[in-house]
C-alpha cells in the first residue's frame, strides 16, 4: 500500500518546494510538476510532489491515493 499526503506549497526554488502538511514543514522535490506556485496544494509521496490538487482537497487526495493503490491487471 502506498502512503501519501496532501500539503500546501509554501515556497518553490531550484526544483524543490517547502510544503506545510498540517503544520509540519519540510522540503520535497518539485521537479515532476511544472510551474508550481506557493499556495497550491500537492500530493506528496516519498519526498516528491507527485500531483497538483486542484479541486476539493480531501476528495481529490482520496482519488489520487486510490489510483496509486491500483494494481496493474494481470495478463491471462
| 16-27 pLDDT tens trace | 999 999 899 999
SS3 26: strand
pLDDT of the residue at 31: 95
> Which phi and psi angles does 59 have, rounded to 5°?
-65, -40
What is the set of domains in the chain, with CATH numbers?
5-69 (2.30.30.140)
Do residues 70 and 51 touch, judged by C-beta distance below 8 A? no
Other beta carbons within 10 Å of 19: 24
The answer to whether residue 36 scores a pLDDT higher than 70 is yes
pTM above 0.75, yes or no: no
pLDDT of residue 57: 59
Whether residue 5 has pLDDT greater than 80: yes
- 9 pLDDT more than 90: yes
| DSSP 8-state class, residue 76 | -
Amino acid at each position: 500500500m502506498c502512503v501519501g499526503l496532501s500539503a500546501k506549497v509554501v515556497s518553490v526554488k531550484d526544483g524543490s518546494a517547502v510544503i506545510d502538511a498540517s503544520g509540519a514543514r519540510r522540503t520535497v522535490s518539485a521537479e515532476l510538476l511544472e510551474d508550481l506556485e506557493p499556495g497550491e496544494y500537492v500530493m506528496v509521496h516519498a519526498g516528491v510532489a507527485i500531483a497538483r490538487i486542484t479541486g476539493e482537497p480531501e476528495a481529490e487526495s482520496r482519488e489520487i491515493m486510490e489510483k496509486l493503490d491500483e494494481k496493474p491487471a494481470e495478463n491471462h
